[in-house]
């Protein structure tokens, strides 16, 4: 999933790089076939170089954002029920991560046809994810992963997480925060989420409204998945950096969401050192992984081919 990094793939950093790629892509010995296919799409895609989506999803703050999104999504009991009842996150947590990354990068860097097909595939997998859950008001309700309500919360949590992490540790954002929220509403459309927020104010208002309405809740099941995320089964050499990433993700959450997750507030005296340590970890990841993802490189080859034709 990453560009070639001269001088890093060999030597003392080689094993660390391989383990990191394995964690993100599922394997480190070859570029996944779905990435290679991004080169052969027949249009420019929904986004492109210079877009907010490319800037955010091609950056290293996504490592923090992914953890933050999982934590926030877990607060919706319907979304949590789907993960608990159907996901193989315990048996194959890295496979689930790789699948999520595939969808994000296909929608971001792929052609329109590829983005639509990738989203339809995810929705087809979600059709079997049905069951019942107890909502934040104590009422038993049926759920389906494709329900607009659940898909909407997943979209809200994702967008907020990736925007927040990029604002803290990323570079300039084309079009600003509203540019990213507005662009990524395209992904919501593809996933069947109607009228997704298109400005930062709308995004934060919806998250506040969902929280204030009592639709979210903590409890033992939430705390169980938080423990799993905190102690993700990573290779030993990656664990110290992951602890920093996890703490960074927690530090960006609203106090009331941290409380529902059973997580303590980050002491004020730790905020500045944690920010700097996180920045150093993300810079190290960028050195290991290279300046561009393999998905972005494939997309650029597609764009060059289309421009030359």
Region of 199 please: left (phi>0), alpha (psi -120 to 50) or beta: beta
Q: At what angle do helices 239-251 and 268-289 cross, to 10 degrees?
A: 130
What 8-state DSSP symbol labels residue 111? -
| Dist CA 186 CA 196 (whole Å) | 9
Who contacts 201 (Cβ-Cβ below 8 Å, separation ≥6)?
Answer: none
Which long-range contacts link 231-237 to residues 24+ away (Cβ below 8 Å)?
A: 232/93, 233/93, 234/19, 234/23, 235/19, 235/22, 235/23, 237/15, 237/16, 237/19
Of 130, 110, 134, 131, nearest to 120 by C-alpha is: 110
| pLDDT tens for each residue of 11-57 | 545 566 666 666 666 555 568 889 999 999 999 999 999 999 999 99
Name the pTM for this structure.
0.89
The answer to whether the beta carbons of residues 96 and 89 sit under 8 Å apart is: yes
Q: In whole angstroms, how far apart are CA 189 and each of 168, 182, 198, 246? A: 27, 11, 11, 30
Coil vs helix vs strand at 39: helix
Burial classification of residue 194, based on how many CB atoms lie within 10 Å of its CB (0-12 exposed, 13-18 middle, 19 or more buried): exposed
Residue with tokens 């996890």: 246
Residues 102-114 pLDDT 10s: 999 999 999 999 9
| Domain-wise residue ranges, the chain | 43-286
CB 162 within 8 A of CB 69: yes
pLDDT by residue for the chain (309 residues), tens only, comes to 444 444 454 454 556 666 666 666 655 556 888 999 999 999 999 999 999 999 999 999 999 999 999 999 999 999 888 877 766 566 555 566 778 899 999 999 999 999 999 999 999 988 888 888 888 888 888 888 788 888 999 999 999 999 999 999 999 999 999 999 999 999 999 999 999 999 999 999 999 999 999 999 999 999 999 999 999 888 888 899 999 999 999 999 999 999 999 998 877 668 889 999 999 999 999 988 887 888 999 999 999 999 998
The predicted-structure confidence for 215-239, as pLDDT tens digits, reads as follows 999 999 999 999 999 998 888 888 9
**Token pair 């500045």: residue:** 272
Nearest to 243 by CA among 259, 228, 253, 230: 230
Say how far apart CA 175 and CA 163 lie, in whole Å. Answer: 12
Supply 223's token pair. 């705390």
- 217/53 Cα distance (integer angstroms): 30
Let me know: does 148 contact 193? Beta carbons within 8 Å: yes
């Amino acid at each position: 999933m990453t560009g070639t990094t001269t001088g890093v793939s060999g030597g003392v950093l080689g094993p660390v790089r391989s383990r990191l790629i394995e964690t993100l892509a599922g394997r480190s010995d070859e570029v996944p076939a779905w990435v290679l296919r991004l080169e052969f799409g027949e249009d420019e895609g929904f986004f492109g170089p210079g877009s907010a989506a490319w800037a955010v999803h091609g950056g290293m703050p996504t490592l923090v954002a992914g953890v933050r999104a999982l934590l926030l999504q877990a607060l919706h009991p319907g979304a949590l029920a789907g993960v608990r009842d159907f996901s193989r996150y315990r048996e194959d947590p890295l496979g689930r991560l790789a699948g999520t990354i595939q969808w994000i990068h296909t929608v971001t860097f792929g052609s329109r046809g590829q983005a639509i097909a990738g989203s339809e595939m995810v929705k087809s997998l979600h059709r079997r994810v049905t069951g019942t859950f107890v909502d934040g008001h104590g009422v038993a309700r049926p759920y389906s992963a494709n329900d607009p309500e659940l898909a909407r919360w997943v979209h809200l949590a994702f967008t907020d997480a990736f925007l927040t992490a990029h604002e803290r540790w990323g570079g300039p954002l084309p079009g600003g925060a509203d540019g990213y929220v507005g662009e990524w509403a395209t992904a919501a459309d593809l996933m069947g989420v109607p009228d997704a927020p298109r400005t930062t104010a709308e995004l934060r208002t919806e998250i506040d409204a969902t929280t204030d309405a009592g639709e979210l809740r903590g409890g033992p099941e939430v705390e169980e998945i938080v423990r799993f995320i905190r102690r993700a089964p990573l290779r030993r050499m990656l664990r110290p950096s992951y602890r920093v990433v996890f703490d960074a993700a927690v530090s960006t959450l609203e106090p009331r969401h941290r409380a529902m997750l059973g997580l303590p507030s980050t002491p004020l005296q730790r905020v500045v050192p944690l920010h700097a340590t996180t920045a150093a970890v993300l810079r190290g990841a960028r050195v290991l992984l290279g300046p561009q993802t393999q998905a972005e490189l494939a997309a650029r080859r597609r764009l060059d081919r289309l421009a030359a034709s």
